[in-house]
Amino acid sequence: MRVLLALALISSVGVTTAEVKVGFRQLGSTFPVVVQRGQASEITIRSNYTLDGAYSVLFDRPGITSKFLETKPIPAPRGGRGRPGTPFRFEVTIPEDQRTGIYEYRVATPNAVSSVAHLLVTDLPVVAEDVKKENGTPKSAQAVQLPVAVSGMCEKTEDVDCYSFHAQAGQSITFEVFAQRVTQAVHSMQSGNGTYLMDPILTLLTPTGQVLAQNDNYFGGDSCLTHTFQTEGDYVVSVRDARYIGNTKYVYCLQMSDRPWAEALFPMAVQRGQSAALSVIGHQLGETSVADVDTSGEDIEFGWQKTSVQVSGGLTNPVPLLVSEHKQVTAADGTHADAHAVTVPVGVSGRFTEAGQSHRFRFDAKKGTYYRFDVTANRVGTGLDAILELYDANGKKLTEADDGLQTKDPTLNFRAPADGELTVLIRDLHDRGGRRFQYHLAIQESGPDFEVHGEYYYSQLAPGTRMAWFARVNRLNGFTGPVQINVEGLPKGVSHEPVTIPSGLNHCLINLVADKDAKVSAALATVTGTATVTRPDGSEQRVTRSGRITCELQTQGGGQARWPIRTSIVGVTQPLDLLEVVATPAEVKLKRGGKVEFTIRIRRNEGFKEPVTIAMDFTYFSSVLGAQLPTGVTVSKESTGRLSGDTLEGKIVLEATDKALQVERLPIAVLARVPITFSITTNYASNPVYLTVE
Q: Among the three residues 122, 140, 159, which one is the final residue of a domain in this structure? A: 122
Say what the pLDDT of residue 3 is: 29
3-state secondary structure of 164: strand
215 lies in the same domain as 101: no
Q: What is the pLDDT of residues 174-194, one digit of tens each?
A: 999 999 999 999 988 765 555
Say what the pLDDT of residue 131 is: 82
CB-CB contact of 588 with 689 (8 Å): yes
Query: What is d(CA 360, CA 644) in angstroms, rounded to the nearest whole number?
Result: 64
Q: What is the pLDDT of residues 132-144, one digit of tens each?
A: 889 999 999 999 9
Average pLDDT over residues 56-77: 95
66 lies in the same domain as 111: yes
Q: For the domain that residue 320 is a member of, what is the CATH number? A: 2.60.40
Q: Which of residues 1 and 385 earns the better pLDDT score? A: 385
Q: What is the pLDDT of residues 461-494, one digit of tens each?
A: 999 999 999 999 999 999 999 999 999 999 999 9
> Residue 204: beta bridge partners?
213, 237
Q: Which among 119, 123, 171 has a CA at the least distance from the CA of 148?
A: 123
CB-CB contact of 328 with 271 (8 Å): yes
430 lies in the same domain as 531: no
442 lies in the same domain as 476: no
pTM of the model: 0.93
Q: Among the three residues 429, 446, 463, which one is the final residue of a domain in this structure? A: 446
CB-CB contact of 617 with 551 (8 Å): no
Say what the pLDDT of residue 19 is: 59
Q: What is the pLDDT of residues 359-415, one digit of tens each?
A: 999 999 999 999 999 999 999 999 999 999 999 999 999 999 999 988 999 999 999
Domain of 428, in residue numbers:
328-446
Average pLDDT over residues 345-353: 96
134 lies in the same domain as 117: no
Q: Which of residues 23 and 565 earns the better pLDDT score? A: 565
367 lies in the same domain as 485: no
Mean pLDDT of the chain: 92
92 lies in the same domain as 162: no
Give the model's confidence band at 447: pLDDT under 50 very low, under 70 low, under 90 confident, else very high: very high
CB-CB contact of 549 with 461 (8 Å): no
- The number of domains in the chain is 5
Say what the pLDDT of residue 79 is: 65
202 lies in the same domain as 109: no
Give the model's confidence band at 586: pLDDT under 50 very low, under 70 low, under 90 confident, else very high: very high
Q: For the domain that residue 137 is a member of, what is the CATH number? A: 2.60.120.380
> Residue 467: beta bridge partners?
512, 684
441 lies in the same domain as 556: no
CB-CB contact of 518 with 572 (8 Å): yes
47 lies in the same domain as 196: no
579 lies in the same domain as 628: yes
Q: Which among 316, 169, 309, 144 has a CA at the least distance from the CA of 229?
A: 169
Alpha-carbon distance values, 537 to 366, 446, 449, 534 (Å): 12, 10, 14, 8
Q: What is the pLDDT of residues 80-101, one digit of tens each?
A: 666 788 999 999 999 999 999 9
Predicted confidence (pLDDT) at residue 5 exceeds the cutoff of 70: no
Q: Among the three residues 227, 257, 287, which one is the final residue of a domain in this structure? A: 257
Query: What is d(CA 541, CA 547) in angstroms, rounded to the nearest whole number?
Result: 19
Give the model's confidence band at 13: pLDDT under 50 very low, under 70 low, under 90 confident, else very high: very low
Say what the pLDDT of residue 625 is: 92
Percent of the chain at pLDDT > 90 equals 82
Say what the pLDDT of residue 215 is: 97
249 lies in the same domain as 112: no
Q: For the domain that residue 44 is a member of, what is the CATH number? A: 2.60.40.10
Residue 73's CB is within 10 A of a number of other CB atoms, namely: 13
Q: What is the pLDDT of residues 497-519, one digit of tens each?
A: 999 999 999 999 999 999 999 99
Percent of the chain at pLDDT > 70 equals 95
